[in-house]
Amino acid sequence: MRSTLPRLILLVSALLCWHAGAAAGGVSFNGSLGSKAALLLIDGEARTVQLGQMVNGVKLLAIEEDRATVEIDGRRQVLVLGASPGRLNPSGSDNGAAKQIIMTSGPGGHFTPTGSINNHSIQFLVDTGATSVSITQAEAERIGLRYRNGRRVLTQTANGVVPAHLTVLDSIRVGDVEVRNVEAIVIPGQMSHVLLGNSFLTRFLMKRENDVMTLDLRY
């Protein structure tokens, strides 16, 4: 069987030349390196990305013969070999979009920003100890979440182990910054706030100085 390596090298070289100017601000699939890695052009830079690895905000999920599936900002994109670059901001934000949240602590040293879930107004409480964004069933029903379609789990609360549902929120907005496809858990009981947990917070670089917390969007 004749080796396909020379053909792959020629194909990759041609694609790199063709995309060099066009791919800035985007990502394209330029060839597979076996079944475990792909050559992606990210913001005009050729990068070898292993399956499951994240590079410059682009995570490689799957590789097929002529396409690769990636995740960018929590959303999946299918990149076809030789096609036009996919956008690095699939949620619709651009380079001028807000990427920083600045909060000042209130009584008790808590951070309680106002924001929205799926365009419904929400009062949040930042909780770095919570694995996911946590919402009560009453609040979830108020904003129309179809959380009962989510996976049923058991979770530990202050009142003991309770049944809950895992779901994915279309969007969370705090200030002018929006993050899409955020995992959340819906639990019974009462809470005065929606807990803004790590499924949201890990999308940011966090910095706290005295009573000010700054969140900078990673990508």
The string of DSSP codes covering 173-202 is EETTEEEEEEEEEEESS--SSEEE-HHHHT
**Predicted pLDDT at 83:** 59
Q: How far apart are CA 44 and CA 15, in angstroms?
A: 11
Q: What burial class does residue 149 get, using C-beta atoms within 10 Å of its C-beta: 0-12 exposed, 13-18 middle, 19+ buried?
A: exposed
Q: How far apart are CA 175 and CA 98, in angstroms?
A: 9
Torsion angles phi and psi, residue 2, rounded to 5: -75, 135
Q: How far apart are CA 50 and CA 59, in angstroms?
A: 9
Contact status, residue 60 vs residue 49, Cβ threshold 8 Å: yes
Where are the chain's structural domains? 5-87, 100-217
Contact status, residue 133 vs residue 197, Cβ threshold 8 Å: yes
pLDDT at 9 > cutoff 80:
no
Region 157-184 average pLDDT:
89
Q: How far apart are CA 195 and CA 208, in angstroms?
A: 18
Q: How far apart are CA 184 and CA 205, in angstroms?
A: 20
Amino acid at position 209, single letter? E
Q: 5-87 and 100-217: same fold?
A: no
Q: How far apart are CA 120 and CA 171, in angstroms?
A: 10
Cα→Cα distances 7→11, 12, 31, Å: 6, 9, 11
**Predicted pLDDT at 27:** 82
Q: Copy the structure tokens of residue 115.
A: 């924001």
Q: What percent of the chain has pLDDT over 70?
A: 80
Domain made up of 5-87: CATH architecture: Roll (2.30)
Region 62-86 average pLDDT:
74
Strands (E), 127-176: 133-136, 151-157, 160-174
Please report which confidence band the pLDDT of residue 62 belongs to, taking 50, 70 and 90 as the band edges.
confident
pLDDT at 205 > cutoff 80:
yes
SS3 144: coil
Q: Copy the structure tokens of residue 206.
A: 């966090």
Domain made up of 100-217: CATH architecture: Beta Barrel (2.40)
Q: Give the DSSP H/E element, type plus range, for residue 117.
A: strand 114-117
